[in-house]
């Protein structure tokens, strides 16, 4: 098992023994996790494991009940998601926060549109915005011939890449990707995984949340498995075969017990 406290550069973000209560419900019970520059750290776990609560805590949606949260070695306490975004922590959720009928450009710059002119004649600088959108998409191999086309006309993989490219363009140091391949086909999944690799090469840190161990193993450097709000372990790829990681995530002992009870049919 890897040692997150090993000497070296401070992780881009790190949480230590994070606990989160919602009234009497304990959603997280002492979770520790870190991600360094140029690293893809996969967060695995079944439904109810605590993944959503953890990423919302990292993203500033929830404040931890206790525990330490550090960004580049310095303690932080985010009051809201804007604080996290200002610190360079961007979250791409499953719904992508996109408006299907709006253009690719408008979705790319949503809330951060470049403007020209002076009040009261300020207007969106669409020439600049379209140029940036086309160029950023071209960098990842997506040819947006018409930046005015509705983002809903793109494939699921292309929309995922737009959302990730948007976060990178606006200065993210750490990307938290919430199930980015869950609803994609093989070709679209390949597109997204390749782009995650490109992002890592830029020196960004990536936290990749997924149910799919194959996708995690294809993209990840380290893997943290959650179960019922607790960390079952953190492993580097060389330390754990994919089948063992699958068994750990899915509850291998429980499945084996059920298989035995059912006469080996599971």
Q: Establish if 34 belongs to a structural domain.
A: yes
Total domain count, the chain:
1
Residue 91 lies in a domain: yes
Residue 26 lies in a domain: yes
- Domain residues for the domain of 62 are 13-97+174-261
Residue 56 located in a structural domain: yes
**Does residue 214 fall inside a structural domain?**
yes
Q: What is the CATH number of the domain that holds 233?
A: 3.40.50.300
Q: Answer whether residue 88 is part of any domain.
A: yes
pLDDT for the residue numbered 120 = 82
- pLDDT score recorded for residue 38: 95
**Residue-averaged pLDDT of the chain:** 88
Q: What is this structure's pTM? A: 0.86
Q: What is the pLDDT of residue 264?
A: 57
Give pLDDT, residue 56. Answer: 94
Residues of the chain short of pLDDT 50, as ranges, are 2, 4-6, 266
- 66-71 and 13-22 as β-strands: parallel, antiparallel, unpaired? antiparallel
**Looking at the domain assignment, is residue 210 inside a domain?**
yes
pLDDT digits (tens, 9 = 90+) for 116-152: 888 888 898 999 999 999 999 888 888 888 899 999 9
Give residue 7's pLDDT.
61
Q: Is residue 164 part of a domain?
A: no
């Amino acid at each position: 098992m890897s040692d997150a406290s090993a000497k070296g550069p401070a992780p881009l973000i790190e949480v230590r023994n994070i606990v989160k209560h919602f009234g009497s419900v304990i959603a997280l019970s002492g979770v520790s996790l870190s991600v360094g520059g140029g690293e893809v750290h996969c967060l695995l776990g079944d439904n109810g494991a605590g993944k959503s609560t953890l990423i919302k805590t990292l993203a500033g949606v929830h404040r931890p009940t206790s525990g330490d949260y550090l960004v580049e070695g310095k303690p932080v306490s985010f009051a809201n998601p804007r604080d996290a975004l200002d610190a360079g922590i961007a979250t791409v959720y499953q719904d992508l926060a996109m408006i299907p009928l709006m253009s690719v450009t408008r979705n790319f710059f949503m809330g951060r549109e470049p403007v020209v002119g002076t009040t009261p004649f300020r207007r969106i600088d669409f020439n600049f915005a379209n140029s940036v959108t086309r160029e950023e998409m071209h960098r990842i191999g997506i040819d947006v011939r018409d930046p005015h086309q509705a983002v809903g006309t793109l494939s699921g993989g292309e929309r995922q890449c737009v959302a990730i490219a948007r976060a990178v363009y606006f200065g993210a140091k750490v990307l938290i990707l919430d199930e980015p391949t869950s609803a994609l086909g093989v070709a679209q999944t390949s597109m997204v995984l390749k782009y995650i690799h490109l992002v890592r090469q830029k020196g960004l840190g990536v936290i990749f949340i997924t149910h799919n161990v194959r996708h995690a193993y294809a993209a990840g450097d380290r893997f943290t498995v959650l179960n019922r709000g607790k960390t079952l372990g953190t492993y580097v790829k060389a330390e754990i075969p994919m089948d063992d990681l699958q068994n750990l995530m899915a509850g291998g002992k429980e499945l084996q017990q059920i298989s035995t009870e059912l006469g080996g049919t599971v």
